[in-house]
Amino acid sequence: AGSLMTTKHSQPQSTLAKSLTSTSTNTPYFKVAESTEIPSYVTKCPSNGPCSRLPPDCMTCNTNYSCIYGKPATFDCKVKPHVHCLDQNNHEQENFTINMTCQFCWQLPTTDYVCTNSTNCMTVSCPRQRYNATCTVRDHIHCLGNRVFPKMLYCNWTGGYKWSTALALSITLGGFGADRFYLGQWREGLGKLFSFGGLGIWTLIDVLLIGVGYVGPADGSLYI
């Protein structure tokens, strides 16, 4: 009886173990879902346009830093994933060449990059003040090195004050301090107002100083 019970109980356990083993062996592993997220640079890349017109962020190029500065250079490039461009025959291609001038990005003309502006420095000062700016190369310009770079620039911001308006006020109403009030120089304006333009002498001096641009806005900005 004991032997019979052992046989009866062992058979279902063996069958169950075999079933579990069979199930675990035949069950396929779950594959990790592939990422379908489109990279952020794709928004800057025109679709089905000429490969030579793609922005630098849309391609990877084998640049050669031993090229001769200022001379034309040709580099082999390849489009990044999810970027589609065409050749001259309107055929899609991945590998192509670009022509550019051999120079680093920070050596480009000022018209080829955009820099941050500062409204904290004085534009009218001697010597002229500089500020630390962060510059970014425009999308259609190709160059060597980092496309974002720091640069020391002269203060050149404006607060919206017009030189012609300041000069006109100095000539017509300078005796009442209108020119100084317009430029935001309230103390000097009150001084001219209560002294009748320094009996005319201060008025004439201000006409000359504003005319040559020596006297500017109180916030240190440039005239427009």
Q: What is the pLDDT of residues 108-150, one digit of tens each?
A: 998 999 998 877 777 766 677 888 899 999 988 899 999 999 9
| Assigned domain for 139 exists | yes
| Assigned domain for 30 exists | no
| Assigned domain for 223 exists | no
Stretch (H or E) spanning 124: none
- pLDDT at residue 63 tops 90: no
Mean pLDDT within 76-99: 88
| Residues 53 and 87 occupy one common structural domain | yes
Q: How far apart are CA 166 and CA 168, in angstroms?
A: 6
pLDDT value, residue 121: 76
Give residue-wise pLDDT tens across range 11-59. Answer: 444 444 444 444 444 444 444 444 567 778 888 888 888 888 888 888 8
Q: How many domains are there within the chain? A: 3
Give the domain range for residue 196: 163-212
| Residues 93 and 126 occupy one common structural domain | no
pTM: 0.55
C-alpha angle 47/49/55, rounded to 5°?
Answer: 80
| Residues 118 and 149 occupy one common structural domain | yes
Q: What's the N-to-C CA distance of the chain in angstroms?
A: 111
pLDDT value, residue 36: 62
C-alpha dist (Å) from residue 127 to 123, 130, 154: 10, 9, 10
pLDDT value, residue 125: 67
Q: How confident is the model at residue 156 (pLDDT cuts 50, 70, 90)?
A: confident
pLDDT value, residue 190: 92
